[in-house]
Structure formats: C-alpha cells, structure tokens
Amino acid sequence: MKVFVTGATGFLGRHLIKKLKSLGYSIYESNSKHCNLHDYDNLCTELHNVKFDYIFHLAAMTKAGDYCLYHKGEQWIDNQLLNTNALKFWANKQPQAKLIAMGTSCMYEPSENQLKEKSCMLGTPEEGLITYAHTKRMLLVGLQSLAHQYNLNYLYFIPSTLYGDNFDLNDNHFIFDLVKKIYNGKYNNSKVTLWGNGLQKRELIYVEDAIDIILKLKDKNNKIINLGTGQDNTIQDFARCISNNLNFDPEEIFYDITKYTGAKRKILCINNLLSLIGKNYKFTSIEEGISNIIEYYKKSCK
C-alpha cells in the first residue's frame, strides 16, 4: 500500500507516519525539502513513477495564539498554494488515489451549540481566524468540485484540537501552552498568566484516537466527518487538571482578560462519527492524555 503524506513533519503528520510504518505502508513524505507543495513541477518530477493508494493532505500554514490576526495575507496565499497544488496533483497525476484531507473547527460560524457538518460552510467564521477558516472552506470546495468532475474519491475530516506527546516544544496551541506555563510555574517559579477569564470552552481529541478513527474510516467515500469527542471543558478545567498532576496551586494562575481569547465555545457534533465507528468507541480520557503530554514535556526539559 503506497501512501503520500503532506505536512509530514507537523504534529499530526509525525504521529500518522509512525502509525502507518507500524502497519507496513510504503510512505512518501512531502515537506519543505522534499516534494515541496510550493513547487508543483518539482512535486510531479519527484513522484512521476509512483502511484498512490492514499494521499493524506495535512499540510497547512497556521500557528496558535494571535498569529492569524496579523498574518492574514500570508496565510491566504500560502494555504491556497498548498491546497491547489495538492488537489491538482491528485486530479492530474493520482486519480486512483483516495485523498484524505483535514479541515478545521474554526471554519464553523461561532455557536454555543454543537457544530454539525451540514453547517460547516454557512455563516461567518470567528473574525480572528476568518482567513485560515476560509482557506479550509475552499479546500473542501476544491475536493467536491474535482470529485464531481473527475469521479474522484475523498474524505474530509474536521477535527477539534489535537493533542498528545511528541509535540514541538515551540507549539503554542492552548493545551501545550498551558502545560508549559504551569510546569514553569511549578519548577521555575515563573508567573503563570493565561489569556482570557478561563471560562472559554474547548474540545480536545487525543492524536492517537484521531489517527485510529481516520484509518478505520479511510475507505468511506466523499464524506465530511467531524473528528472530536463531543465533550468540552473550560480552560480553567484544563488548568486545574494540569495543576493537580504537577501539584501546583491553581489559585496562583492569573487570567489576563485583556488578551485575545477567540470563540467562547467550540464543540463538534459527533453523531455522524459515532454512527460510523460505533457509539461505544472509547476515547482517551482528558486526565490520561494530559498526563502523557506532561510526562513527555518533563523528559524534554531534562
């Protein structure tokens, strides 16, 4: 089984490749040095003799925090280029392959209610993330358009926030940022300052669970699937869980309400997902997942 993975050096890419290797897949990777998605001709030249069974399109240009507020132009140009070249390569050179792509929960219009797949293209995404959100919407339109015209097959997953070990120590997605800040508060006497009042809610899915589900469903065709747990917690809840693990007093955490916090709540409706994988699917608990990333971070700091 031959597989092409874009964004191979990213968080999800690293975990996916490790899993695919354990299953005996023949893997080809795209990154900034090899099969660069910024250069379509180079991509075609390096892979001209290979026929893939699956293409996992994970590459995306984004960062956590307030990056999306100040780099809208860069995000639009870069992500549109990455997506266009990946889709063009699929349609022109690899029509036999199933393309499995990743969306983002921020493509949804903000809502206090669970977010359903049928509404992922409706309304206006959260203002601070609007550019990145629309590049993911355009990716879905591209998948649907090419599949319709050329009779191709795809899957489009919309994940909640992925987390797990083996994360980049410079990755500031909120759960990694919380671990690093509270760890430094515990062991380096640093002041722990978190953005917002801590009441904003977020949903996490452990990266190994996400990969397990993606591979279980890889042979479904032309579907949009929310990839989450259907459970969310406040930032304060996550902070308390981390603090308890590290024996740190959560009362010492300062919440800076002047900072950017994003949507008040983002939680995915997973009724569609559970109909495909079974209602009794056992997700990794928040406590276990957070314990794993703390242990990873501790080892990385030694």
The pLDDT of residue 117:
98
Confidence at residue 64, expressed as pLDDT on a 0 to 100 scale? 63
What percent of the chain has pLDDT above 90? 78
Among residues 173, 86, 71, 176, which one has the least CA distance to residue 132? 71
Average the pLDDT over 209-235 and give the result: 97
Token digits for 217? 């469903």
Sign of the torsion angle spanned by Cα atoms 225, 227, 230, 235:
negative
Q: Does the pLDDT at position 235 exceed 90?
A: yes
Chain-centroid distance of CA 177 in Å reads 16
Q: Which residues contact 49 (CB under 8 A, 6 or more apart)?
A: none
Cα of first residue to Cα of last residue in the chain, in angstroms, is 39
Its sign, for the CA torsion 175, 195, 71, 170, is: negative
pLDDT in tens, 77-96: 999 999 999 999 999 999 99
C-alpha distances (whole Å) from 221 to each of 147, 153, 218 are 10, 6, 8
- DSSP 8-state secondary structure symbol assigned to residue 285: P
- Whether the pLDDT of residue 186 is over 80: the answer is yes
Tens of pLDDT, residues 129-183: 899 999 999 999 999 999 999 999 999 999 999 999 999 888 888 899 999 999 9
* Count of other CB atoms within 10 angstroms of residue 24: 8
Q: What does pTM read for this prediction?
A: 0.93
Q: Which residue has the tokens 């695919």?
A: 20
DSSP label of 34: S
The pLDDT of 249-278, averaged and rounded, is: 90
- Total residues belonging to the chain: 302
Amino acid at 260: Y
User: Distance between CA 109 and CA 130 in Å, rounded?
Assistant: 10
Tokens of 271: 């009724």
Tokens 């569609």 map to which residue? 272
